[in-house]
Amino acid sequence: MGAVLGLLLGCGLLLVWSALTSPAPATGPRRSATPLRERLTVMLRRAGADQVTPAALIGLCVGLAVIVGLAVYVISGVATVGAAFGAFAAYGPIALLRGRARRALRERAEVWPDVVDDLASGVRAGLSLPEALTRVGERGPLMLRPTFAKFGTGYQRTGRFGDALDVLKADLADPVGDRVVEALRIARDVGGGDLGSLLRSLSTFLRADLRTRSELESRQSWTVNAARLAVAAPWAVLLLMSFQRDVVGRYASLTGAVVLIGGAGVCVVAYRLMVRIGRLPVEQRVLA
């Protein structure tokens, strides 16, 4: 039974790897990447790991699954227990990057009102739009300076404002950044005289939304942490039991494997249900 589970896990990881590394079909609409690869790329960019490719991330997940699974199998002597912890280890890097991406989005949401105010003050002072954006790379929030500095360098090199805005929007990968960039693009193309008032209104809306979201997150944080602890506790106990082969050996039978698979399924479903119920609305990148 353990060999069958290990074979199924290996086949699943192989299929994921094949889906990420295989080239796109030549027929049909042209697409730059598969949906999974595109989601992983956006997650890596938001987490500040642009130098890591989706294929490298999947390779890391597979490597961790094999190493942790073999280590737990050597300790416990039960293949099903090793396969279970190997699957958890495979999800570890993705969970870490998702957490970093969420924290980066929260931190960026806190500084976006200041960025919009800076742009509005620059436009009101008579600066051109490229100059106002470049100034954010010099005096704006530290976490956004490299992105806007890259915009300034690209614009100075090519002189193409639209192309530089496209690169800026792709680097930001942020719904608020999409709205700001598109507002600046329209103002540049059609001569929007109300750009200053539009940016000030956007700053006021962002601050109000940030206050509301912070209050909701603080109220639900203890519930989310308690649910995570409840899900992780049984597997921590199982890991401690793995050091006692006479105890954990009961999971080597078919009944033990069914219990492990059923428990893992219940934990995954319960955790995902908790996350979905407690999830706050997230603004989508409709202008991406």
Q: What is the pLDDT of residue 11?
A: 53
Q: Are residues 9 and 92 in the same domain?
A: yes
What confidence tens digit (pLDDT) does each residue in 17-34 have? 554 454 433 333 334 446
Domain boundary (153, 184, 209) is at 209
Q: Do the domain assignments include residue 288?
A: no
Q: Examine the pLDDT at 240 and tell me if it is beyond 60.
A: yes
Q: Are residues 217 and 100 in the same domain?
A: yes
Q: Are residues 251 and 224 in the same domain?
A: yes
Q: What is the pLDDT of residue 181?
A: 83
Is the model's pTM score more than 0.75? no
Tell me what the mean pLDDT of segment 153-163 comes to: 86
Q: Are residues 190 and 265 in the same domain?
A: no
Q: Are residues 135 and 182 in the same domain?
A: yes
Phi-psi region of 28 (alpha: psi -120 to 50; beta: other; left: phi over 0): left
**Which domain covers residue 86, as residue numbers?**
2-21+32-106+210-278
Q: Do the domain assignments include residue 46?
A: yes
- Kindly indicate the confidence band of residue 283, based on its pLDDT and cuts at 50, 70 and 90: low
Q: What is the pLDDT of residue 109?
A: 79
Domain boundary (209, 224, 247) is at 209
Long-range CB contacts (within 8 A, 24+) of 139-146: 140/111, 140/114, 140/115, 141/111, 141/114, 141/115, 143/104, 143/107, 143/108, 143/111, 144/108, 144/111, 144/115
Domain boundary (185, 209, 233) is at 209
- Kindly indicate the confidence band of residue 67, based on its pLDDT and cuts at 50, 70 and 90: very high
Q: Are residues 254 and 161 in the same domain?
A: no
Q: Are residues 51 and 130 in the same domain?
A: no
- Kindly indicate the confidence band of residue 215, based on its pLDDT and cuts at 50, 70 and 90: confident
Q: Are residues 64 and 86 in the same domain?
A: yes
Q: Are residues 154 and 223 in the same domain?
A: no
Tell me what the mean pLDDT of segment 80-91 comes to: 89
Q: Examine the pLDDT at 107 and tell me if it is beyond 90.
A: no
Q: What share of the chain has pLDDT > 90, as a percent?
A: 3
Q: Do the domain assignments include residue 26?
A: no
Two tokens, residue 89 = 């280890």
- Kindly indicate the confidence band of residue 186, based on its pLDDT and cuts at 50, 70 and 90: confident
Q: Do the domain assignments include residue 61?
A: yes
Two tokens, residue 181 = 């960039």
Q: What is the pLDDT of residue 25?
A: 38
Q: Are residues 152 and 100 in the same domain?
A: no
Q: What is the pLDDT of residue 4?
A: 46
Please classify residue 127 by burial: count the beta carbons closer than 10 Å to its beta carbon, then call 0-12 exposed, 13-18 middle and 19+ buried.
Answer: middle
- Kindly indicate the confidence band of residue 226, based on its pLDDT and cuts at 50, 70 and 90: confident
Q: Examine the pLDDT at 117 and tell me if it is beyond 80.
A: yes
CA-angle at 95, arms to 115 and 56, nearest 5°: 90
Q: Are residues 189 and 217 in the same domain?
A: no
Q: Do the domain assignments include residue 250?
A: yes
Tell me what the mean pLDDT of segment 193-207 comes to: 78
Q: Do the domain assignments include residue 287?
A: no
Rounded Cα gap, residues 179 and 135, in angstroms? 19
Q: Are residues 171 and 220 in the same domain?
A: no
Phi-psi region of 167 (alpha: psi -120 to 50; beta: other; left: phi over 0): alpha
Q: Look at 61-65, 141-145, 279-283 and tell me which has the smallest mean pLDDT.
A: 279-283
Across the chain, mean pLDDT equals: 79
Tell me what the mean pLDDT of segment 21-50 comes to: 63
Rounded Cα gap, residues 29 and 19, in angstroms? 18
Q: What is the pLDDT of residue 14?
A: 55
Two tokens, residue 214 = 């912070």
> 78 with 252: CB under 8 angstroms?
yes
What domain count does the chain have?
2
